[in-house]
């Protein structure tokens, strides 16, 4: 039996694929753009799902409401037993009902809860890799990172840790019908995160304080509006209290969680001019 990894070229999916390979677990890797190593699969192209899922016992899945009902139908027909879903901590945070990101992820979670399949939800908070969306261009250009709340605290979680938790849920017993909310191991200010990236690339990165309106415009140049508002809400919340951190990765995988300085060193080339 095989494990199907959706989005196997993605920030998290590629680490899930790598983790399964290290354990010798047979995997079928999927992508919207297939090649010799990836088969075609996309929730928005339901006619490709039966072939992608044929003979599969379990699946790693991204949350995408479009096509989830067709996915459930194809998964049940293929004999899939367990699905590990990369969801979002937004679904359990205050204001979830009014958060479009939370609502979208809950649509997929609900479909799996009602499917009759076994499932595990991995619900990460702020992605460390989001900093590449926000700051890569300006850092590469030698410009200041513009922040509305430089001292706002967040607890960014690395994509390796999301993947490690997913691999554990795919390869070990006891994770069926479990939802794991995952935050980073430490809370850092946005200014500190920029400083850690600067240390990783051997450069002092200036920080400029701007208004929330200016920050929205900056983020809007690289992110959809839904994402911009989610980020701005998270940053503003980080000025009002200390965000949650978790030791979940170490507890469930037996390996320590990746710190943000470690993440920054791993991704230093993404920020270098």
H or E element in which residue 229 lies: helix 225-237
pLDDT for the residue numbered 98: 87
Pairwise CA distance, residues 193 & 189, whole Å = 6
What's the rounded mean pLDDT across residues 128-143? 96
Please provide the distance, in angstroms rounded to a whole number, between the alpha carbons at the two ends of the chain.
45
Residue among 22, 20, 18 at smallest CA distance from 10: 18
Pairwise CA distance, residues 111 & 191, whole Å = 39
> Residue 21: is its pLDDT beyond 90?
yes
- Radius of gyration, alpha carbons of the chain: 19
pLDDT for the residue numbered 74: 98
> Residue 114: is its pLDDT beyond 90?
yes
H or E element in which residue 270 lies: helix 268-271
Q: What's the mean pLDDT when you consider all of the chain?
A: 96
Q: How open is the CA angle 228-157-88, to the nearest 5 degrees?
A: 55
pLDDT for the residue numbered 226: 87
> Residue 160: is its pLDDT beyond 90?
yes
Residue among 73, 75, 67 at smallest CA distance from 46: 67
What's the rounded mean pLDDT across residues 233-258? 96
Complete domains list, the chain, with CATH? 2-124 (3.40.50.720), 126-157+183-244+256-273 (3.40.50.720)
Q: Place 209 in a pLDDT band, splitting at 50, 70 and 90.
A: very high
> Residue 95: is its pLDDT beyond 90?
no
> Among residues of the chain, what percentage have pLDDT more than 70?
100
Pairwise CA distance, residues 179 & 63, whole Å = 14
């Amino acid at each position: 039996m095989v494990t199907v990894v959706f989005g196997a070229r993605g920030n998290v999916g590629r680490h899930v694929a790598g983790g399964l390979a290290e354990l010798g677990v047979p995997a079928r890797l999927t992508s919207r753009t297939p090649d010799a190593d990836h088969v075609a699969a996309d929730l928005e192209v339901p006619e490709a799902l039966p072939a992608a899922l044929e003979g599969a016992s379990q699946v790693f899945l991204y949350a995408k409401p479009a096509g989830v009902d067709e996915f459930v139908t194809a998964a049940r027909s293929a004999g899939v037993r367990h699905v590990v879903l990369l969801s979002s901590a937004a679904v359990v945070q205050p204001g979830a009902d009014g958060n479009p990101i939370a609502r979208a992820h809950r649509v997929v979670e609900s479909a799996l809860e009602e499917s009759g399949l076994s499932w595990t939800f991995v619900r990460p908070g702020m992605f460390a890799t989001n900093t590449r969306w926000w700051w890569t261009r300006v850092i590469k250009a030698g410009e200041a990172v513009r922040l509305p709340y430089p001292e706002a605290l967040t607890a960014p979680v690395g994509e390796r840790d999301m993947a490690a938790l997913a691999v554990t849920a795919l390869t070990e017993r006891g994770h069926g019908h479990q939802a794991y909310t995952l935050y980073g191991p430490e809370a850092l200010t946005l200014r500190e995160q920029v400083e850690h990236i600067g240390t990783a690339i051997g450069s002092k990165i200036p920080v400029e304080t701007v208004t929330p309106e200016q920050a929205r415009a900056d983020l809007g140049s690289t992110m959809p509006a839904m994402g911009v508002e989610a980020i701005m809400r998270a940053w503003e919340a980080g000025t009002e209290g200390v965000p949650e951190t978790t030791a979940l990765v170490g507890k469930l995988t037996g390996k320590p969680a990746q710190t943000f300085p470690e993440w920054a060193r791993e991704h230093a080339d993404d920020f270098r001019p």
